[in-house]
Amino acid sequence: MQSFLGKRAVASAISLVGLIILVFFLSRLTGDPTDLYLPVDASLESRERFREINGLNDPLLIQFVHYMGDLLRFDFGDSIRRSEPALEAVLRGFGWTLQLAVITMSLVTVSAIVLGSLAAFHVGGIFDRIATFFSLIGASAPDFWVAIVAIVIFSVGLGWLPTSGTGTPWHWVLPVAVLFIRPFGLILQVVRGAMITALHAPYVKTARAKGVRNRPIIFVHALRNALLPVITVIGDQTTAILNGAVVVETIFGFPGIGKLMIDSILQRDFNVILAAIMVTAFAIFLLNLLIDILYAVLDPRIRY
């Protein structure tokens, strides 16, 4: 287990360094932030000064060496836009997104597993039809469209829910609901498929021959065997939200990391882009580790 953890950490660190190099240079291809932050008629001196302050005057390689040096001291630099440490801005945004992801994915997981299991138990039955209906919607409805239509109906038309921002629990309803649809449809299908296989497995026959009731057959015998592919997809979908539910966060004016990232890219706020990428990368590393550990917990045949 320890050597597994060590190997994973080293492999992830290597990819992270590669990612930093890539993003560092690519983001600088978008142009000079000076043009964005100073008025068009700003003097040459003030432009010089701005570049000097933000360390943009050095050759690119020197900038990179400085950046990496700072990074080793856990200094992620300052945000040009916000004049605060980039990491602070990022962690604040990440906190919001993390809450959004945890709430959404918890709801998705519970509902998809229950409905998917019941759908698999009676293929073609009422639960199966509901499941198929929702997965089709989940797979085919584009979230930006659903988000806008939801705002039109529930906020503008009915006036039940706020259109954007945060503050009350009501502010969470629409973003969570819109983010819920796609992973729910997908995971529902995975649960259904895996459960159909598990419910036809020979060990289920054994359980029936023992006289075990339907509920433990579904939720004790079959479900744990069906969960491996399911948690893989859950991890995948959680990653997608953590990576920034850019569209949904932007539409709902939700101050998460997705919105922060897209804003920083548009504002050439390089330090924030890099910090955001490193924070999400680290979170995804932890998430994948958690999934690997869950594998071993669920299936005793898997040992690292």
Partner 1 sequence: MTDHLLEVRNLSVDFHTAGGTVHAVRNVSWHLDKGETLAILGESGSGKSVSASAIMDLIDIPPGEIVSGEILFNGENLFAMTQDQRREINGRRIAMIFQDPLSHLNPVYTVGFQIAEAMTTHGISKDEARRTTLDLMKRVGIPNAEEKIDAYPHQFSGGQRQRLMIAMALAVKPDILIADEPTTALDVTVQAQILALLEDLQRETGMGLLLITHDLGVVAEVADRVVVMNAGEIVESGSAAQVYRQPVHPYTKTLIAAVPGTGAMAEPLATGIKPILEVNHVSKHYGAFVALEDASLTVLPGETVAIVGESGSGKSTLAKTLLRLEEATGGEALYKGRDLLTMPRRELFDIRREVQMIFQDPTQSLNPRMSVFQIIAEAFAIHPGILPKPQWRGRVRELLEHVGLNATHMDRYPHQFSGGQRQRIAIARALALEPKLIICDEAVSALDVSIQAQVIHLLEQLQRDFGLSYLFIAHDLPLVRDFAHRVVVMQGGRIVEQGPVAQIFDAPQQDYTRNLMAASLHPDPEIQAERRAARQQAQEEYA
Of 6-14, 63-71, 78-86, 209-217, which part binds partner 1 (CB under 8 A)? 209-217
Start-end of H helices in the chain: 2-28, 33-37, 44-53, 60-72, 86-121, 126-140, 143-150, 170-199, 202-210, 214-216, 223-242, 246-251, 257-266, 270-298
Range 3-11 contact pairs with CB under 8 angstroms and sequence separation of 24 or more:
4/292, 4/304, 5/289, 8/285, 8/289, 8/292
Q: Which of 208, 266, 282, 286 binds partner 1 (CB under 8 A)?
A: 208
Told to check if 122 binds partner 1 by CB under 8 A, we report: no
Told to check if 128 binds partner 1 by CB under 8 A, we report: no
Closest CA to 89 of 264, 249, 252: 264
The site map against partner 1 for 271-300 (x = CB under 8 A) is ---------------------------xxx
Q: Which of 39, 59, 159, 211 binds partner 1 (CB under 8 A)?
A: 211
CB of 150 to partner 1, least distance (A): 40
Closer CB to partner 1, residue 73 or residue 301? 301
> What residues contact 280, with CB distance under 8 A and at least 6 apart?
94, 242, 243, 244, 257
Query: CA-to-CA distance for 238 and 106, rounded, in angstroms?
Result: 10
Helix axes 270-298, 223-242, angle to 10 degrees: 180
Q: Which of 155, 225, 232, 288 binds partner 1 (CB under 8 A)?
A: 225
Of 23-31, 135-143, 208-216, 242-250, which part binds partner 1 (CB under 8 A)? 208-216
Question: What's 140-194 look like in SS3?
Answer: HCCHHHHHHHHHHHHHHHCCCCCCCCCCCCHHHHHHHHHHHHHHHHHHHHHHHHH
CB of 202 to partner 1, least distance (A): 4
Closer CB to partner 1, residue 201 or residue 262? 201
Told to check if 91 binds partner 1 by CB under 8 A, we report: no
CB 105 within 8 A of CB 183: yes
CB 250 within 8 A of CB 259: yes
Closer CB to partner 1, residue 39 or residue 202? 202
Told to check if 232 binds partner 1 by CB under 8 A, we report: no
220: helix, coil or strand? Answer: helix
Q: Which of 201, 246, 265, 291 binds partner 1 (CB under 8 A)?
A: 201
Told to check if 7 binds partner 1 by CB under 8 A, we report: no
Told to check if 43 binds partner 1 by CB under 8 A, we report: no
Closer CB to partner 1, residue 129 or residue 213? 213
Q: Which of 1, 61, 210, 215 binds partner 1 (CB under 8 A)?
A: 210
Q: Which of 3, 45, 215, 301 binds partner 1 (CB under 8 A)?
A: 301
Of 59-67, 178-186, 207-215, 275-283, which part binds partner 1 (CB under 8 A)? 207-215
CB of 191 to partner 1, least distance (A): 16
CB 121 within 8 A of CB 199: yes
CB of 201 to partner 1, least distance (A): 7
Residues found near partner 1 in the complex (CB under 8 A) = 201-203, 205-213, 221, 224-225, 298-301
